[in-house]
Structure 1
């Protein structure tokens, strides 16, 4: 990994924090995103402890090593961030990007006895049979054993609905991860609003939902384009994220 490559990852990850704050999907000074910068996936960038997403710059991101047992003791590393992302990049180094958030609508669905994102439109169908579920929330995820448990629940899926907690999406690129968390929150907003009507849901058939999910998987360029457009908006409004 060259410095140029790492710098671009820094810029893109910083942009993601800014965009998420702009969209109101942040949670005070909590939550964390990470992105691998080494070929083996074990060295990764993480946001510093308790820094508001709207102020994060590329140079603020911390470079960590998943094998460094002292990293969790650093004053700028949040214990829950290390527990989740440190274990993720150690146990699943093929994952390049991870976004953990508590956005309102996705977290609302995460509080339901059945947190399934039911396929009732194009966005919700993107997640048909494609979200792992954690239904054993036990408090703050601030231990390595808890982080390892959460990563183990992902299995062969790239998203985790963290029951009574929030959500996490993982991906091979920052752009795809951003679009995924954006669309997941939109999907959950539609589902929450549909539930709120009290009317029966018109759930898509399994065949249609599966076809729609597969179609989504075939347009990664859509996700990348969405992210690049959002970065262009940032560049006009406040390009300081790239510094």
Structure 2
């Protein structure tokens, strides 16, 4: 990746942090986003240790080179950042963008004995049979072994519902990943709201849910444009994110 491409990657990733904070999807100074700047995933950008999402700038992001000694990699990172994202990019080199969050509604669904996102509308149907699930919360994910376990659960999926923990979304671009995380949280918000009525859910048929999920998969340009539109708001209201 050229220096120009890395600069663009830094700007896009910084924007994702700012937007997540604006939407209230952040968790204090925890959680992490990463974005590869090499085809093999050995070099990636990630947020520095314990920096609030709302303050992150492009120049603040840490460039991780996994070919270097671990001691030089981890000094600027939260241990959980290296444990999860280091293993994720190692096991899935084609996964360029990875977002791990603890949003309220998605995390609420992750705490249920049945964390399935049932297809009850267009947003929830996006995830029909397209989620991987972790049913074993083992505490803070701060070891390489735990990171490797989580990364291995994704397999052919792009979203992991982390039981009693949160969610992880991966994608080829930061725009697709961000839009997916946004819609996932909206879907879980709708499902939690529906559950709260105490009424029986009206679940879409498998045929319609599958058709809707496939239609979503054809709208990558929609996802990317959603992110670009949000960046225009940041350009006007928080231009320092790109510094």
TM norm structure 2? 0.98
Say how many residue pairs are matched: 243
Write the distance in 1 (CA, Å) between the matches of 2:135 and 2:74. 31
Equivalence for 1:178: 178
How many Å apart are 1:71 and its aligned residue?
A: 4.6
Does the 8 A contact of 1:64 with 1:71 survive in 2?
no
CA distance in 2, matches of 1:138, 1:175: 31
Query: Which residues of 2 match residues 41-52 of structure 1 at below 5 A?
Result: 41-52=41-52
1:151, distance to aligned residue in structure 2 (A)? 0.6
Cα drift, residue 75 of structure 1? 3.1
In structure 1, C-alpha distance between the alignment counterparts of 2:204 and 2:45, rounded to whole Å: 39
Q: Say whether the 8 Å CA contact 2:119–2:125 is kept in structure 1.
A: yes
Report 1:1-243 matches (<5 A). 1-71=1-71, 74-243=74-243
For the Cα contact (< 8 Å) 2:66–2:73, is it kept in 1?
A: no
Specify every segment of 5 or more residues in structure 1 that has no aligned partner in the other structure, as ranges: none
> How far 1:38 sits from its partner (Å)?
1.0
Looking at structure 2, the residues matched to 217 and 19 of structure 1 have their Cα atoms a distance apart, in angstroms, of: 23
C-alpha spacing 1:73/1:231, structure 2 compared with 1 (3 Å): closer
- Quote the offset at 1:40 in angstroms: 1.8
Q: Aligned partners of 2:5, 2:203: CA distance in 1, in Å?
A: 43
Q: Which secondary structure does the structure 2 equivalent of 1:75 belong to? A: helix
C-alpha RMSD of matched pairs (Å): 1.0
| Alignment deviations for residues 125-162 of structure 1 (CA, whole Å, 9 cap, x no partner) | 00000000000001000000100000100010000000
Instruction: State the alpha-carbon separation in 1 of the partners of residues 69 and 107 from structure 2.
Output: 31
Contact (CA 8 Å) 1:66, 1:87: kept in 2 or not?
A: no
| CA shift digits 1:21-73 (9 cap, x unpaired) | 00110000000000000122210001000000000000000000233342576
**Alpha-carbon contact 2:38-2:44 (below 8 Å) kept:** yes
CA distance in 1, matches of 2:95, 2:54: 25
Q: Distance in 2 between matches of 1:74 and 1:135?
A: 28
Q: Measure the CA separation in 1 of the matches of 2:185 and 2:60.
A: 27
Are the counterparts in 1 of residues 39 and 94 from structure 2 also a CA contact under 8 Å?
A: no
Can you list the C-alpha shifts for 1:185-222, whole angstroms capped at 9, x where unaligned?
00000000000000000000000000000000001000
2: CA distance between counterparts of 1:24 and 1:125? 23
Secondary structure (helix, strand or coil) at the match of 2:100 reads strand
- Does the Cα contact within 8 Å between 1:42 and 1:66 map onto a contact in 2? yes
